[in-house]
Structure 1
C-alpha cells in the first residue's frame, strides 16, 4: 500500500535550506522536499510514531531498503530510485544523521547522442521557416544557433536579458545554482542574435527577457520544444533531437576537435569533471571528421 506523504515541518525546513543556503533550483527543491516528506511519512507508519531529527538517528539500512521497496511498489525505476536514495542521504546528512551504508540500484549511464552539424543547421532553418512571422523565425534561428554554438541549456538562454546587448566576443551566462560563466560567442551566433533584435517588435529593456514570446512576454521553453519536435518530424530526425541535444552536440564536437576536458567543463558550467567525462564515450574520430566539414568554427 503506497505511503501518502503528509507535510512535515522537518522536510519544510530542509527545503528552505536548499533554496536559501544551497541556491538549488525550484524544481530540485520541490522534488527533494517531496522525497523527505515521503521518507518521514513512511518511517512514521513503519515505526508507529512521530518522527523528528532525534528519532532519525535510529534509522538503519534495513529501514532504507524497506522505504525503497515501498517506492518500487509505486512504479519507480532504477534511475528514479537512485535519485530518491541520493535525496534521502542529503536529507539525513542535513539532520545530522549518518546515512546507513546502502548500495544504490545500478543505473546504466546513457551516452549523449549528438546531432550532426548539418542536421543542426537544417533543424534551425526548418524551425525558422515554419515560424508564423519573420521576427519569430529570426528569434528561433538565433536561439537554436546559440544553444549549439555556445553549449547553453535552454533555460540559460531564455534567462538572458537585454543587458546582454550590445554583444561582444563573449557572453555571461547564469547556470545552475546561480553560478555564472563566460562563453565565447561565435560571429555567426552574434549576427543571428543581432538580426533577431533588429526585427523584434518589442522594446529591448535591460531587465526584460532577450528572447520574447509572440505577445511580448518571456519565451516559454515549451514553445521551443514544440517547434523542434515539429521540425524533427518533418526532417525525419530521431526523437532524441531536442533543444538540449544541441548542447550535447556542442560538447561532443568540441571534444572531437581536441578540446581538453577541463576547458569543456568550464564552457558547459559543470560542477564536477565526472559530468563532462561522459562525452569521452563518443567516437571522437567520427566527430572530428564531420566537425571539420560542417562546424562553424572549423
Structure 2
C-alpha cells in the first residue's frame, strides 16, 4: 500500500466511523475489501487512485470470479469500492467513479428461516423451571420473539431502558440509532419475574451494573452467550438443526405479516431503513401460503 492509498483509506475509515456511525465489524469488511483492491492495483502496475478506470474495474471483477468468490462476496467488494470512490469524489480527489456503472452479480435471494408456532411453543416449554437460569432463558426468549430486536441490541439493553407501564424498550440499533420497541403481557410477566427474582440472585456476588441480561456469574450476557443459550434450548426441545438468533427476528416479522400487519409497520418495528429489506418477508409468507395450499386443497 503506497502513501496515497494509506492516507485516503484512513480518511475513508474515519468518515465511516464519525459520519456514518458504522460498526467496527462493518468497517473491518470495508478495510479488507479496499486493501485487496490495492494489492490488485500493485499487481497490475496501477500506481495512483486517480488513474483507475472502468476497464480496470471489469478486470478486477473477472479476477474475483477466477478466485471463486461467492456472488455475495463479489457484490460486497464492488459495493465497497463504489462507496470509496464516491467518497473520493466528495473530497474532490477524483472526477469520476470507475465503479459507478460496474454491474454487480445478481444475488440468489435466500428466504429467511423462521419457526412455526408449534416449534416456538416447544422452545418456551424448554425454559420451564424455577431455577434462575431457566427464568432468565424464558425472559430472553420472550423478549427476542416479542420485539424482533437484534441480539446485539438485546445484550445492550439497560434496566433504565424498560418501561413496564407502556410496555416499551428503548434500543440502540445500527448506526447507534435509537428506536422504541413494544412487548406484550407474556414478555412483560417473564421480564418482571426475571428482574425481581433471577437477576437479583445471579447478581448476588457480581459487581453492580445495569445491563438487563446476565450470565451465571452476574456479568453482562454477550452475543456468543445468547447463541449458546438458544442452541441449548433447541437441543432440549428436540428440534433439529442449529438455531441462529436471527431466526427469532425472522419469526417475529413473518408471524406479524401472516396475521395481517402492514409492511410499513413491520419495517419500523424491525428498524429497517429501507422497505426493500423488509419485503423479503413477504416472499416468506407467500411461500408459507403456497405450501399450505398445496398440502390441503383437494385439487392442488
TM superposition score category, shorter chain reference: 0.7 to 0.9
Unaligned runs of 5+ in 1: 291-298
Per-residue Cα deviation, 1:210-244 (whole angstroms, up to 9, x for no partner): 11122222102212212322332454434363211
Distance 1:210 1:285 in 2: 37
Whether 1:161 and 2:158 are equivalent positions in the alignment is yes
Shift of 1:92: 1.0
* Partner residue in 1 for 2:108: 108
Whether 1:38 and 2:26 are equivalent positions in the alignment is no
- Check whether the contact 2:170–2:179 (CA below 8 A) recurs between aligned residues: yes
Any residues of structure 2 matched to 1:129-144 within 5 Å, and which?
134-144=131-141
Cα pair distance change 1:237/1:207, threshold 3 Å: same
* Partner residue in 2 for 1:119: 119
Per-residue Cα deviation, 1:84-141 (whole angstroms, up to 9, x for no partner): 1111111111111413311111211111222012212322432x359xx921221111
TM-score, normalised via structure 2 length: 0.83
Distance 2:73 2:114 in 1: 24
TM-score, normalised via structure 1 length: 0.83
Shift of 1:255: 0.6
Per-residue Cα deviation, 1:13-44 (whole angstroms, up to 9, x for no partner): 21111011100011001111111122122213
Distance 1:230 1:74 in 2: 38
Distance 1:90 1:209 in 2: 36
Number of equivalent positions: 275
Could you say what secondary structure the match of 2:72 adopts? helix
Unaligned runs of 5+ in 2: 90-95, 293-300
Distance 1:149 1:27 in 2: 27
Distance 1:278 1:67 in 2: 30
* Partner residue in 1 for 2:295: none
Shift of 1:145: 1.2
Whether 1:257 and 2:255 are equivalent positions in the alignment is no
Q: CA RMSD in A?
A: 2.7
Distance 2:208 2:31 in 1: 34
Per-residue Cα deviation, 1:233-276 (whole angstroms, up to 9, x for no partner): 45443436321101111101101111111111100000000001
Distance 2:193 2:251 in 1: 24
Cα pair distance change 1:156/1:231, threshold 3 Å: same
* Partner residue in 1 for 2:274: 272
